[in-house]
């Protein structure tokens, strides 16, 4: 399998929910409109180690027609399954195959994690996107980013402690949170999400 610009992962997330609880992978894929008839398929490894295929479904496209947005869901793991979900994306169109497999490494998605499939740069703009997926309904500002040690055995090359909050004035923030972020190439995982007890030197205010 090889990577291509025809298809690329926009994002994927893995969340626990349901009754009984399960861990579900869902996300969005961007596909160039190279043919009207096409299949967008998610190849993933299940909890038993078997490779399976889940179809994505067409969602929308810009007025100029490309790239199309395709969404997928319904990839389930046991709620307590600790291993990363592994997957790659295939498009079949006009008798040809196109793949996004994260540069031959496949995408790896930890429990509760988020993966972005765009450029492997990591900056404030990507932090803001992560914040949106973590679940806040209002705009949050990045207060600080602290680099930490790599996570042994998981292939993460960088780890960050990110402090975020809603600005209510110069140096003053409400709703402050501390979020642990792991970065592996273009993959980003949210490791933890806790209320910050103190974030000197910024001044915190009550919501």
CATH number of the domain to which 18 belongs: 2.60.40.2440
* Tens of pLDDT, residues 163-199: 777 767 666 666 666 777 666 555 566 666 666 654 4
Final residue of a structural domain among 59, 88, 115: 115
Is residue 22 one of the residues assigned to a domain?
yes
The domain in which residue 184 lies consists of 119-204
d(CA 116, CA 120): 9
pLDDT of residue 170: 66
What would you measure as the largest C-alpha separation in the chain, in angstroms? Answer: 60
pLDDT of residue 65: 79
Kindly give the pairing relationship between strand 172-184 and strand 203-204. parallel
157 found inside a domain: yes
Provide the number of structural domains found in the chain. 2
**Domain final residue, candidates 66, 87, 115:** 115
Paired with 13 in beta bridges are 26, 114
Q: Are residues 129 and 53 in the same domain?
A: no
- Give the pLDDT of residue 115: 80
Instruction: Give the pLDDT of residue 190.
Output: 63
């Amino acid at each position: 399998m090889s990577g291509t610009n025809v298809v690329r992962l926009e994002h994927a997330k893995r969340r626990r929910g349901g009754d009984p609880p399960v861990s579900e992978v869902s996300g969005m894929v961007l596909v160039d409109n190279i043919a009207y008839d096409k299949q967008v398929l998610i190849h993933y490894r299940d909890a038993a180690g078997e490779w399976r295929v889940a179809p994505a479904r067409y969602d929308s496209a810009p007025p100029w027609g490309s790239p199309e947005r395709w969404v997928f869901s319904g990839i389930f793991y046991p709620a307590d399954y600790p291993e990363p979900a592994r997957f790659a994306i295939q498009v079949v169109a006009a008798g040809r195959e196109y793949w996004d497999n994260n540069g031959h490494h496949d995408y790896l998605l930890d429990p509760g994690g988020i993966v972005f499939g765009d450029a492997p740069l990591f900056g404030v703009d990507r932090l803001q996107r992560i914040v949106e997926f973590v679940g806040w309904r209002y705009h949050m500002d990045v207060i600080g980013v602290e680099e930490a040690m790599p996570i042994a055995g998981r292939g993460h090359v960088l780890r960050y402690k990110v402090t975020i909050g809603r600005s209510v004035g110069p140096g003053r923030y409400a709703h402050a949170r501390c979020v642990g972020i792991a970065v592996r190439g273009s993959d980003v995982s949210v490791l933890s999400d806790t209320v910050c007890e103190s974030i000197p030197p910024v001044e915190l205010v009550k919501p």
